[in-house]
Structure 1
Amino acid sequence: MKQNLWLPVCLYLAGILLIAACRKERDWTLPPQNAEKDTTSTGFYFLNEGGWGYNNATLDYFDTHSGVYERDVFTKANPDAVLGLGDTGNDMGVYGSKLYVVMNWSKKIEILDARTARRIKVLTDQTHKAIENARSITFANGFAYLSSYTTSEKGMVLEIDTATLNVTRTVEVGRQPDELTVAGNKLYVANSGGYSPANLERTVSVIDLSAFKVIKAISVAPNLRRLKKDGNGFLYICPWGTTGKLYVVDTKTDRLADSINVMVEDFTIVRDTAYIYGTDYGGGQHAYTRVDLKNKKVIPGSFISDGTKITMPYGIAVDPNNGSIYIADARNYSEAGDLYCFNAYGKLKSTIWKTGIIPGHIAFYNRNGSPGR
């Protein structure tokens, strides 16, 4: 008798839980399942690359104060944009009051009002041929600098005036340039040469910003991609894919100064610490490592301290205000991904289920207050 009574009750309760779960999954206006309010963070834009050739890149926004994750804010703010955000979102950044979104396969730069996500201007390859393969963007002294290329042999950097939103100067660099950054009065560009596997590039181009001319090519390693700076005059560079070294260039001498033995595919730098992830594709394992940049030493242990498993890490960012660590999970590259948030001690705080397809880029910005970093 007791078994007969408990069976329908259990089935009834299971049905209620399943319906509730499905409602929460479908209702994208609800906050993430276990998001936490955070009054010390700035909030951020989140760019989902989308599948190459599918025109399904999207732009989201996470308000860390309310815990609300808003999907596809570009389409909502720009209903007249017939093709949406576009194809293959490769990079983005906030500078001043504007958000710049680099759309690689759509061959354009979307320039948006950072507070509303409304379109201000679009720079395309039809007006600026060098935007044909736009890659990465950085900012300094009232200008945006964009890496791009039109052929397998000709890499370019474009200078964009952030007041007039016009391209003011261009300069030729190495083949297939990727990430870039400004240090002092010089712009550094990682050249990959990725379309020429038999003759890969291995240089960082150094551009004098006053003359806007290349003054040096620093030999580092083949197929360079990631390039970031610390606050002490050093650049940190790694090639495409996971490698076993993070290369160090001294911007005072413009020479390769050191290398750090660490498995690295992507990384971010906050103050004097690099947060790095790498993937062992043979064994399917991921490593999450910190490096003390003052001493150029790997900090023992994983910065994910609670054993959380991520299927396919594809982007990383650290909130400079509270140390929260965000890691994007591209999962299988064809379905919606996830975004994990860990506190500064590596404990999982929250998970945003079902971002866009191939999530990967974060730009901190508080839409309700002052700009993020």
Structure 2
Amino acid sequence: MKQNHWLPVCIFLAGILLFSACRKDRDWTPPPQNTEKDTTSTGFYLLNEGGWGYNNATLDYFDIHNGIYERDVFTKANPDAVLGLGDTGNDIGVYGSKLYIVMNWSKKIEILDARTARRIKVLTDQTHKAIENARYITFANGYAYLSSYTTSEKGMVLEIDTATLSITRTVEVGRQPDELTVVGNKLYVANSGGYSPANLEHTVSVIDLSAFKVTKAITVAPNLRRLKKDSNGYLYICPWGTTNKLYVVDTKTDQLTDSIGVMVEDFTIIRDTAYIYGTDYGGGQHAYTRVDLKNKKVIPGSFVTDGTKIIMPYGIAVDPNNGSIYIADARNYSEAGDLYGFDTNGKLKSTIKKTGIIPGHIAFYNRSASAGR
């Protein structure tokens, strides 16, 4: 993605003019439709990414138990925050009592009280130059780990102490690192090289957490993007649309051991089952597929069983408490999107219209109870 130096300035000024109009639009959106009380789960935050350069990312909260959907909770909790949440929300995660929001184009990490959504601290590129193009975040053993595109030639992973909220260590990885996860004492990072289409990256960087050094680069496939783990020490990695495969790495040997033929754009893993959506851009069709990770086999049929039409799937999450499936619909990327909830049989049970611009990132959390650290 090449960037014109004048383009961000123009878009930023336009974003200021559009910001209040977008917020008024959302105030007029209808309430949730077909929602119902759920006694087996609690709720989740939904990060609406917003249009790149428009400064219209928002944070919503869905109280599943009471069927109440609250829009723009960040702005309500932080009325003095200049320009609201910011520009291009790329990832979200709850760890202990804090909510971390990765704002890509605003070049910052918003750290909030997870119960109230009030701002605790902001880490920005002005004080930490490594946060230039923040991408994804994961957590382990009292630390957060953040991937960042620092330049076109190198990527960086930052370690953040979740008690002091300070950056403690950094390490260089492959070009344009994206999703990352911790297995044991190792941190795995999917490198995309997405800014250099003629010279894409093919590797997963392996970082020893004790030394915080890269010990190996596992060759997998070009333009890697998503990376998640199961309960048996395997990683599952998908590229940015370069192959119709889900790749398998054994973290005991740090070797690529298998690939599963499936159309995959994004996925999540719950109880050793992968829930995947993929898009056939030639035919404009979407597939909703499950994979049995114990046997590395595709489960026949779609996990959306009632024919619900989703225009542009952009995010997926499965409730760890009851197995409900949530799929975000970005629609045309410029108007407010939708959020669909399905039961374990793939039947639509809730529809929330006009969430925000480009909904796509979910973090489960019960706002009615306080968490640990």
TM-score, normalised relative to structure 2: 0.91
Deviation at 1:271, TM superposition (A): 1.1
SS in 2 for 1:135: strand
* Corresponding residue of 1:79: 79
* Corresponding residue of 1:303: 303
Deviation at 1:48, TM superposition (A): 0.3
Please show how residues 190-269 of structure 1 align to structure 2 within 5 Å: 190-241=190-241, 243-269=243-269
SS in 2 for 1:221: coil
* Corresponding residue of 1:133: 133
Once residues 298 and 26 of structure 1 are traced to their aligned partners in structure 2, the CA distance between those partners, rounded to angstroms, is: 39
Deviation at 1:117, TM superposition (A): 0.2
CA 1:27–1:85: 2 relative to 1, 3 Å: closer
Deviation at 1:371, TM superposition (A): 4.9
Once residues 149 and 129 of structure 1 are traced to their aligned partners in structure 2, the CA distance between those partners, rounded to angstroms, is: 11
Q: Deviations over 1:131-157 (max 9, x none)?
A: 000000000000000000221011000
Deviation at 1:27, TM superposition (A): 6.5
Q: Deviations over 1:242-292 (max 9, x none)?
A: 731000000000000100000000000001100000000110100000000
Q: Match for 2:345: what amino acid?
A: Y
Please show how residues 274-285 of structure 1 align to structure 2 within 5 Å: 274-285=274-285
* Corresponding residue of 1:364: 364
Q: Match for 1:47: what amino acid?
A: L
Deviation at 1:370, TM superposition (A): 5.3
* Corresponding residue of 1:355: 355
Q: Deviations over 1:214-267 (max 9, x none)?
A: 000000000000000000000000011373100000000000010000000000
Once residues 133 and 63 of structure 1 are traced to their aligned partners in structure 2, the CA distance between those partners, rounded to angstroms, is: 32
Query: Does the 8 A contact of 2:185 with 2:208 survive in 1?
Result: yes
Once residues 29 and 369 of structure 1 are traced to their aligned partners in structure 2, the CA distance between those partners, rounded to angstroms, is: 28
Please show how residues 104-119 of structure 1 align to structure 2 within 5 Å: 104-119=104-119
Q: Match for 2:295: what amino acid?
A: N
Once residues 149 and 320 of structure 2 are traced to their aligned partners in structure 1, the CA distance between those partners, rounded to angstroms, is: 32
Deviation at 1:39, TM superposition (A): 1.4
Please show how residues 1-373 of structure 1 align to structure 2 within 5 Å: 31-241=31-241, 243-369=243-369, 371=371
Once residues 26 and 364 of structure 2 are traced to their aligned partners in structure 1, the CA distance between those partners, rounded to angstroms, is: 27
Once residues 291 and 220 of structure 1 are traced to their aligned partners in structure 2, the CA distance between those partners, rounded to angstroms, is: 19
Deviates more, 1:32-41 or 1:86-95: 32-41
SS in 1 for 2:263: strand
Query: Does the 8 A contact of 2:50 with 2:56 survive in 1?
Result: yes
SS in 2 for 1:189: strand
Once residues 312 and 26 of structure 1 are traced to their aligned partners in structure 2, the CA distance between those partners, rounded to angstroms, is: 20
Q: Identity over aligned residues, as a percent?
A: 90
Deviation at 1:66, TM superposition (A): 1.0
Name structure 1 gaps, 5 residues minimum: 1-24
Q: Match for 1:357: what amino acid?
A: I
Query: Does the 8 A contact of 2:45 with 2:363 survive in 1?
Result: yes
Query: Does the 8 A contact of 2:230 with 2:272 survive in 1?
Result: yes
Query: Does the 8 A contact of 1:242 with 1:263 survive in 2?
Result: no
SS in 1 for 2:159: strand
Once residues 57 and 80 of structure 1 are traced to their aligned partners in structure 2, the CA distance between those partners, rounded to angstroms, is: 16
Once residues 140 and 83 of structure 1 are traced to their aligned partners in structure 2, the CA distance between those partners, rounded to angstroms, is: 32
Once residues 29 and 195 of structure 1 are traced to their aligned partners in structure 2, the CA distance between those partners, rounded to angstroms, is: 37
CA 1:26–1:156: 2 relative to 1, 3 Å: closer
Q: Deviations over 1:6-51 (max 9, x none)?
A: xxxxxxxxxxxxxxxxxxx987697512111111112000000000
Name structure 2 gaps, 5 residues minimum: 1-24
Deviation at 1:65, TM superposition (A): 1.1
TM-score, normalised relative to structure 1: 0.91
Query: Does the 8 A contact of 2:137 with 2:144 survive in 1?
Result: yes
Q: How many residues align?
A: 348
* Corresponding residue of 1:15: none
Once residues 362 and 28 of structure 1 are traced to their aligned partners in structure 2, the CA distance between those partners, rounded to angstroms, is: 23
SS in 1 for 2:287: strand
Deviation at 1:64, TM superposition (A): 0.5
Q: Deviations over 1:56-91 (max 9, x none)?
A: 000000001110100000000000001100000000
* Corresponding residue of 2:21: none
Q: Deviations over 1:162-218 (max 9, x none)?
A: 000000000000000000000000000000000111110000000000000000000
Once residues 187 and 356 of structure 2 are traced to their aligned partners in structure 1, the CA distance between those partners, rounded to angstroms, is: 32
Once residues 347 and 242 of structure 1 are traced to their aligned partners in structure 2, the CA distance between those partners, rounded to angstroms, is: 31
Once residues 216 and 165 of structure 1 are traced to their aligned partners in structure 2, the CA distance between those partners, rounded to angstroms, is: 28
Q: Match for 1:282: what amino acid?
A: G
Q: Which consecutive aligned stretches of 4+ in structure 1 deviate over 2 angstroms post-superposition?
A: 25-31, 369-372
SS in 2 for 1:74: helix
Larger Rg: 1
Query: Does the 8 A contact of 2:26 with 2:354 survive in 1?
Result: no
